[in-house]
């Protein structure tokens, strides 16, 4: 689940267009392993300080197409902590 400060951004039409265009440009291929990418990962993480900076949140140079497994690794491993991981949309979930 997105942090509260980023929820409106991730639900915005602007992000949907950016994400969809970026993922299509990468042919939905994971840039890390070559598998099926389903997440447009922000290389420089979104924070409360940069949530309104289009050079961070909407810049394709700050995005990476990744599969769920590689996205989990980007965030420190398969399971974040005992019983918690990311789902296919990048939201936290219990396992």
pLDDT of residue 73: 86
**Sequence-distant (≥ 6) Cβ neighbours of residue 43 within 8 angstroms:** 62, 63, 64
The answer to whether 71 touches 41, Cβ cutoff 8 Å, is yes
Convert the pLDDT of each residue in 15-49 to its tens digit.
999 999 999 999 999 999 999 999 999 999 999 99
Convert the pLDDT of each residue in 51-89 to its tens digit.
999 999 999 999 999 999 898 888 765 544 556 666 656
Classified as helix, coil or strand, 41 is strand
Domain boundaries, the chain: 4-94
Select the more confidently predicted residue: 92 or 24: 24
Convert the pLDDT of each residue in 1-18 to its tens digit.
578 889 999 999 999 999
């Amino acid at each position: 689940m997105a942090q509260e400060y980023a929820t409106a951004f991730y639900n915005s039409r602007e992000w949907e267009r950016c994400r969809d265009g970026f993922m299509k440009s990468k042919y939905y291929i994971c840039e890390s392993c070559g598998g099926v990418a389903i997440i447009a990962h922000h290389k420089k993480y979104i924070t409360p300080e940069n949530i309104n900076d289009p050079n961070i949140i909407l810049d394709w140079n700050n995005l990476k197409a990744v599969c769920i497994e590689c996205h989990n690794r980007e965030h420190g491993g398969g399971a974040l902590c005992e019983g918690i991981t990311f789902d296919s949309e990048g939201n936290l979930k219990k396992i």
